Amino acid sequence: MAAIVQAAHQQGWREHLGVQVSAVISNKSNAPGLTWLKTHPEFSGIQTDVLEHTQFDSREAFDQALIKRIDLHAPHLLVLAGFMRILTPAFVRHYTGRLINIHPSLLPAFKGLHTHQRAIDAGCKFAGATVHQVTPELDDGQILAQAAVPVLANDTAEDLAARVLTQEHLIYPAAVAEFFKFQEVVRQAN
């Protein structure tokens, strides 16, 4: 999230793309992204909100309440950044074509959790990260960007995760910017 906010500011997305990060919504009041925003007053214009998932009886009830909160901001794009919950099909359908995520593997390999250790255990020579559109299927959807890093002989899952995270911070903001550049091309073509 911080990499995207910083890229939007540094690259002038408002001026060049006509978009900005307007809100950060979390299901946890102590989410690192919310803490980061509090310590960076230069981004005080970004609204924050917390909707604790533990306050709901079901995943469906939480997702419906989350839709209502998100829709107050009328987003052109929802960017999942550290949101570690499986979303219901109804939520995903509501934002079809406007919902993206980043996953710490070279999808379609290693969907789900523990991706770095699984890549090491499988003897992979490369691992990486994938930005993709979100579909009702876990870690599926059109691939928008990928970055690869070598898996080194003595890597631990933590070592590999750190190298992958560096690439995530590069490709995710770039994929968001490309999404809006593509939308502008489509708009002009119509």
The radius of gyration of the chain from alpha carbons, rounded to an integer in Å, stands at 17
pLDDT given for residue 69 in this prediction: 97
pLDDT given for residue 185 in this prediction: 74
103 is catalytic: yes
CATH code for position 53: 3.40.50.170
pLDDT given for residue 183 in this prediction: 83
Count of domains observed in the chain:
1
- Over residues 5-29, the pLDDT tens digits come to 999 999 999 999 999 999 999 999 9
For residue 186, is pLDDT > 80? no
- Over residues 141-185, the pLDDT tens digits come to 999 999 999 999 999 999 999 999 999 999 999 999 999 998 877
188 compared with 78, residue with greater pLDDT: 78
User: Which entry of 94, 103, 116, 132 is annotated as an active-site residue?
Assistant: 103
Read off the pLDDT of each residue in 99-114 and give the average, rounded to a whole number: 98
pLDDT given for residue 188 in this prediction: 82
Q: Which range marks the domain in which residue 105 is found?
A: 2-189
Q: What is the pTM of this model?
A: 0.94
Helix H or strand E segment including 15: helix 13-17
- Over residues 107-135, the pLDDT tens digits come to 999 999 999 999 999 999 999 999 999 99
**Confidence bin at 187 (pLDDT 50/70/90):** confident
- Over residues 45-76, the pLDDT tens digits come to 999 999 999 999 999 999 999 999 999 999 99
Q: How far is C-alpha 85 from the geometric centre of its chain's CA atoms?
A: 12
pLDDT given for residue 161 in this prediction: 98
Query: In degrees, to the nearest 5, what angle opens at C-alpha 69 toward C-alphas 67 and 71?
Result: 65
pLDDT given for residue 140 in this prediction: 95
Enumerate long-range contacts of 19-23, CB under 8 Å, 24 or more apart.
19/76, 19/77, 19/180, 21/46, 22/46, 22/47, 22/73, 22/75, 23/47, 23/48, 23/49, 23/70, 23/73, 23/75
